[in-house]
Amino acid sequence: MNTGTGGRPAAAEMTLRAAGTGAEPGVMAGHAGKTGSVLKTGISYQEKKETERVLRRLQKNVTEAETQITATEKEIDAMNTRLASGDPAVISDPAFYSSYDEKKKRLEALMEQWENAHTELESFQAEYMNNNDTV
């Protein structure tokens, strides 16, 4: 995984810089209020909030993928039940098989999407969250 400065994943680094928090920990001294204060962990309040925002977004991506996978699996199970019933109208319907194949392909794509989202979440937690003890 590409890392930015300070061992952050490059995507998190760009997100933090875009939010105006690209300064190294402790550099924001002299600013008043929460946005300029430096936490005990050595990161600013703004960096901590941005890190939490990125973490929530990554967790949401995983959850959404899981929800879509569950729904698609239910649709496939219902189609399997219809096939197992032996109904001649279902068995002889080419559109049914086409739809079935599309759902199987969609499930495969969703599984890959979930895997990517989960890997990104784990990488973020391992490389950024745990290194800075912010969670």
At residue 41, the pLDDT reads 58
pLDDT exceeds cutoff 90 at 33: no
| pLDDT, mean over the chain | 77
At residue 18, the pLDDT reads 42
At residue 43, the pLDDT reads 73
Rounded to 10 deg, the angle between the 94-124 and 45-84 helix axes is 160
| 39-50 tens-digit pLDDT | 555 678 888 899
Length of the chain: 135
For the chain, what is the domain count?
A: 1
Task: List the domain range (segments joined by +) for residue 87.
Answer: 5-132
pLDDT exceeds cutoff 60 at 26: no
| 74-114 tens-digit pLDDT | 999 999 999 999 899 999 999 999 999 999 999 999 999 99
pLDDT exceeds cutoff 50 at 21: no
pLDDT band of 117, cuts 50, 70, 90: very high
Please, are residues 121 and 58 in contact by the beta-carbon 8 Å criterion?
yes
Using CA atoms in the order 47, 52, 53, 57, what is the torsion angle rounded to 10 degrees? 140
- The pTM of the full predicted model, rounded to 2 decimals, is 0.63
